[in-house]
Amino acid sequence: MSIRIEQAISPRQIRAFIRFRHKLYQGDPNYIPELNWSERNFLGPRNPFFRHSRAAYFLAYNGKQMAGRVAAIYNTMHLERYQDRTGFFGFFDAVDDQAVCDALLHAAGKWLASLGLTRIMGPENFTTNHAVGILTAGFEQPPVVQMPYNRPYYEPLLNNNGMTEQMELHAYRFEQVDLPADFMKRAQTIEARLKRHNIRIRPVNFSHFGEEMEQLRQVYNAANEGHWGFVPLTVAEFRFLANDLRKIVQKENVLLAEKDGQLIGYMVTVPDVNQILRKIPEGRLFPFGWAKLLAKPQINGARLLILGVLPAFRRMGIDWCFYARTSRFFTEAGIKWTEAGYVMGNNLMMNRIIRNIGGKPAKTYKVFARRI
């Protein structure tokens, strides 16, 4: 039976686009449903990404049965920065059928080609600041918050479509959060030395959230300059993401390093709310709310979301201080394990550091591309 492609435009079609994953992964013990309202906001005009860029959503049908989905993404800021005529595909999900995969990526590529682009890369859910890649190793564990999950057949589907690997990304798991005594002692010595140079580590001040987030955005963009595929976040985009995370973090989850009052580094961790979301049928939060859900002592894991230090202040041990403070906080908060990701495969130093402090390889993700 031939595969029919339909562009998702109407509210009904967008609803089908969002909910397809629930049907595809029904019964999968490792599947965590995204909240429908959250994904609807992310895909729609409320997302500041659409102030400068655009996307088209496609559905694949095999007869009357929906068989897949994909987004074609035209990222203006990426194109201005890299001048590589590359568009992206994201939110890719499909049954194990090469014809479905090929039809979806053909539709996405055709839409991007109509805008003058010559290459398609992904999966990338709008930018590298969001979910990136497909899972290629580590299927035995459920994903942590805001990390991708898919079945093993996705990689051969993309390879057979002519896609080639562009980047490998890793996630590491720490089965315990209390770091060794010698590490904690050394971190204490480092922090004392940093103070003598007017560098201090502190948690975020939620009373001045707007100002704190704008400083963090600037340092985040500067610290990631030169990283593979990175596109700086605008003020509105960063605030959009920060406001979402604000609902689930405590001040100790956001650690900042300052030199003479100016932000120079950061580390952000988040509780693994996926442990709660997996119990919500088909991504429907109502009649529950975040406050009621997070009040329940159900979360014993966390994710190290982002860590960065301005180049001039690296190799001073600021990251050691972040790890030590987070270790103490997690121990007091009842967090038993944590996962750190993403770490790019070509970031040899960070991969080595995480292994040296006890991180064990947990999951691998890959990004693919081909000519249109």
Same fold, 3-169 and 177-335: yes
Q: Each residue of 334-362: pLDDT tens digit?
A: 999 999 989 999 988 889 988 988 899 99
Q: Which fold has domain 3-169?
A: Aminopeptidase (3.40.630)
Sign of the four-CA dihedral 252, 147, 36, 295: negative
Q: What is the pLDDT of residue 287?
A: 44
Q: What is the pLDDT of residue 295?
A: 54
Question: Which 3-state string (H, E, C) describes 211-260?
Answer: HHHHHHHHHHHHHCCCCCCCCCCCHHHHHHHHHHHHCCCCHHHEEEEEEC
Residue 245 CA from chain centroid, whole number: 12
- Residue numbers of the chain with a pLDDT score lower than 70: 1, 281-297
Q: What is the pLDDT of residue 290?
A: 53
Q: What is the pLDDT of residue 34?
A: 82
Q: What is the pLDDT of residue 286?
A: 47
**Per-domain boundaries in the chain:** 3-169, 177-335
Domain 177-335 is of which CATH architecture?
3-Layer(aba) Sandwich (3.40)
Q: Each residue of 238-274: pLDDT tens digit?
A: 999 999 889 889 999 999 999 999 999 999 999 999 9
CB atoms within 10 A of CB 22: 16
Residue 359 main-chain phi, psi, to 5 deg: -70, 135
